Amino acid sequence: LGSPEADVTTRLQQVEHSVAVAKKELGAMSGDTAMTYAVAIAALAGAGSSTHLDRITRPACNLVISNVPGAKETRYLNGAPLVGIFPVSALAAAIGLNVTLSSYRDHMDFGFVTNAAALDDVHALAEHTRQAYRDLKAATKTPRRTGSRKTQP
């Protein structure tokens, strides 16, 4: 997810590049191939824990990140406005952390589900994420124009 030594803008560019490469690779697969690949990775994780291979080998992955785009406008249920999204997911075998992001209107909500053996202080992760998100927003703000504009009468 980007080099920890890089500044926030460079890290964002690194992440954008790696996501673009992954999407290109996935896009080159047929739908059946992509589904088979996803099922195989999940099966490897499950097989590792059920056979105890996870004790002597590294897991196929230890982090899952999901991004669920939400509505940009307010949604209602029986006239009551939806005030927030609370993303929750589940952990598969051998996965240490699942991060789910949901956007809604003008904000982003983060949900963390963790295996305590992999990460015992999810609250610290949440605080670090909150600060990193602030830094990212500040670094990517579009600068305001500083020139004078003519006003219409």
Task: Decide which of 30, 60, 90 is a domain's last residue.
Answer: 60
Asked, for residue 148, whether it belongs to a domain, the answer is no
Range of the domain at 13: 1-60
- Flag whether 144 is in a domain: no
Same domain (yes/no): 36, 12? yes
Pair 65, 133 in one domain: yes
Looking at 23, 41, 60, which one is the last position of a domain?
60
Q: What is the mean pLDDT of residues 5-20?
A: 90
User: What per-residue confidence (pLDDT) applies to 62?
Assistant: 80
C-alpha–C-alpha distance, residues 117 and 95, integer Å: 10
8 & 51 share domain: yes
pTM over 0.95: no
Distance CA 4, CA 29 (A): 31
**Which pLDDT belongs to residue 92?**
75
Q: With respect to residue 119, please indicate whether it lies within any of the assigned structural domains.
A: yes
**How many domains would you assign to the chain?**
2
State whether 41 and 91 are in the same domain. Answer: no
pLDDT value, residue 143: 57
Determine whether 110 is exposed, middle or buried from the number of CB atoms within 10 Å of its CB (0-12, 13-18, 19+): middle
Distance of CA 91 to CAs 19, 111, 113, Å? Answer: 22, 12, 7
Same-domain check for residues 31 and 50: yes
pLDDT digits (tens, 9 = 90+) for 124-137: 999 999 999 899 88
